[in-house]
C-alpha cells in the first residue's frame, strides 16, 4: 500500500475518535441524532462544528453560532488555490471536491511530490475522513445518550 493511502487512513482513523467526542458533546448540548448528523455531513469541519454547538449550547444567538463557525471554516477557502490544480473534471466534481478541502486533505495532498499521488491522497484522505467522522459522530451520540452525565468523563 502506498504511504499516502496508509497515512490518509491512519489520519482519518485518529479523527474518528474526535468524531466520537463531537457526538458525545452534541448529545450533551441537546442536539439530536438528525441535527448532529446533518451538521457533520454538510459542515464537515470539526472546529466549526464544535464552535457552533458551543455557542448555541451556551445560549448564544444563531447569528453568533453560525457566524463563528463560518469564520473558523473560512480558512479552508484559502487552501483552494493549492488544491485546485490537482482537481479534474467539470463543475460537479469540483463542487464535491470543495466539500473535502479541509486541513487534513490539504496537508496530505501538498505533501506529495507527484501530482497523481497528490490527487489520490486528497481523495483517499477526504473520503476516509468523511466516513470516519460521520460514523464517529453517530457512535458518540449513541454513547452520549446512554450516559447519565458525560461530564464525569
Judge whether 151 lies within some domain: no
Q: What is the pLDDT of residues 86-142, one digit of tens each?
A: 988 888 989 999 999 999 999 999 999 999 999 999 999 999 999 999 999 999 999
Domain that holds residue 28: 3-146
Separation between Cα atoms, residue 117 and residue 125, nearest integer Å: 12
pLDDT of 148 > 90? The answer is no
Gap between the Cα atoms of 106 and 143, Å rounded: 31
Q: In 10 A of CB 139, how many CB atoms?
A: 15
What digits encode the pLDDT tens for the residues 17-58? 999 999 999 999 999 999 999 999 999 999 999 999 999 999
Task: Kindly state whether residue 138 falls inside one of the protein's structural domains.
Answer: yes
DSSP letter (8 states) at residue 60: -
Distances, alpha carbon 89 to alpha carbons 54, 73, 84, 146, in Å: 38, 25, 11, 45
Q: With the CA atoms of 102, 81, 99 and 124 taken in that order, what torsion angle do they form, in degrees rounded to the nearest 10?
A: -70
Q: Is residue 103 in some structural domain? A: yes
- Please, what's the b/e burial string for 83-95 (b: 16 or more CB within 10 A of its CB; e: otherwise)? beebbeeeeeeee
Q: How many domains are there within the chain? A: 1
Residue 152 lies in a domain: no
| Residue pair 113/95 in contact by the 8 Å Cβ criterion | no
- What global pTM score does this model have? 0.90
Residue 153 falls inside a structural domain: no
Q: Is residue 91 part of a domain?
A: yes
Amino acid at each position: 500500500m502506498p504511504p499516502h493511502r496508509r497515512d490518509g487512513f491512519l489520519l482519518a482513523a485518529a479523527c474518528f475518535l474526535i468524531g466520537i467526542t463531537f457526538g458525545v458533546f452534541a448529545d450533551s448540548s441537546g442536539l439530536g441524532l438528525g441535527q448532529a448528523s446533518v451538521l457533520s455531513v454538510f459542515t464537515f469541519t470539526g472546529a466549526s462544528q464544535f464552535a457552533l454547538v458551543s455557542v448555541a449550547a451556551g445560549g448564544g444567538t444563531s447569528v453568533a453560532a453560525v457566524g463563528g463557525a463560518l469564520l473558523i471554516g473560512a480558512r479552508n477557502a484559502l487552501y483552494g488555490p493549492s488544491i485546485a490544480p490537482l482537481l479534474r473534471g467539470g463543475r460537479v466534481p469540483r463542487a464535491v471536491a470543495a466539500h473535502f478541502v479541509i486541513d487534513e486533505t490539504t496537508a496530505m495532498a501538498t505533501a506529495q511530490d507527484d501530482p497523481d499521488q497528490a490527487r489520490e491522497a486528497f481523495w483517499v484522505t477526504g473520503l476516509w475522513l468523511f466516513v470516519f467522522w460521520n460514523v464517529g459522530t453517530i457512535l458518540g451520540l449513541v454513547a452520549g445518550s446512554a450516559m447519565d452525565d458525560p461530564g464525569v468523563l
